[in-house]
Amino acid sequence: MKRIFIFAIAALIFTSCDNNDDSTEIQPVENAKTTITFDARVGNADFALNKDFTIGTRTYNFSKLRYWVSNVTLIDSKGAEYLIPDSYYLMEEVGDLNLSGTISDKLTYPARKRESIDVEDIPAGEYKSIKFSIGVDSKHNDNLSLQSGELSIANGMSNIAWMWHTSYIFSSVAGIVKEGTTSADFLAETGLNANYKTVSIDFAAPVNFSTAKGVVLNLDVTKIVDGIDLIKTPKVNAAQAEVMSALATNYGSKAMTFGSIAN
């Protein structure tokens, strides 16, 4: 009888321990989501098409702004990185585009303004910075048959003239630039693997995406054209390798900065 009593007490103790362990377990936290906005600016003004902007001594009127954002990575407070899967996004502000190159056989890409991307399933935690690239990595740039994210040749962001094979246009900005009585229609584009640029931006303070609604990054167009003489060289492409490299460097090192956190 005494032995049965001892076993009963032992079972009760073990049951109590199990219950206590369950009550102190860290409960899993649902993954977070947020919106990342790439806010196009011209200095302190909001970027817009078909509007005059003064940059230095020149007047710019833009008709197009397009660029690929790829391999978006969030870095947490401990330095661990979370690469957003299939993160290839075409950011743009354009009017109707004729992609066929002819009027008689017109293939129209409709006017579109896109500055934001929605990101889900972010692992819980605090994040201190973001990293992403302007352009398309060599794996996908050298093989357009590989599909990931929004990558497609149907949007006119590819070019067969730059290399022996078709590759993506990494960025494209177009419009009219004037200085005094001199003016030029410009089209400044970047591409080629050497001009794939990675940008790292620190947040002003650690961000918890369980509560933060969004992150705003600023793209200053004045920095894109900084040091680029678009009257002297209105067509920037692979034929002007040095100017294209400078343009790509501007995207990677000058144009992108931290804006704000939306809570």
pLDDT of 41: 98
> Is there a domain that residue 98 lies in?
yes
- Cα 9 from Cα 111, distance rounded (Å): 76
Alpha-carbon Rg of the chain, whole angstroms?
26
> Is there a domain that residue 20 lies in?
no
Residue 238, helix vs strand vs coil: helix
pLDDT of 4: 41
Residue 240, helix vs strand vs coil: helix
pLDDT of 263: 84
> Is there a domain that residue 1 lies in?
no
> Is there a domain that residue 258 lies in?
yes
Q: Find where tokens 């590819």 sit.
A: 158
> Is there a domain that residue 120 lies in?
yes
> Is there a domain that residue 6 lies in?
no
pTM of this prediction? Answer: 0.86
> Is there a domain that residue 22 lies in?
no
- Cα 191 from Cα 236, distance rounded (Å): 10
pLDDT of 100: 74
106: domain range?
32-262
Contact 33, 121 (CB under 8 A): yes
Instruction: State the total domains in the chain.
Output: 1
Q: Find where tokens 């003016």 sit.
A: 183
pLDDT of 101: 60
pLDDT of 30: 63
pLDDT of 67: 98
pLDDT of 22: 45
> Is there a domain that residue 26 lies in?
no
Residue ranges of the chain whose pLDDT lies below 50: 1-29, 102-103
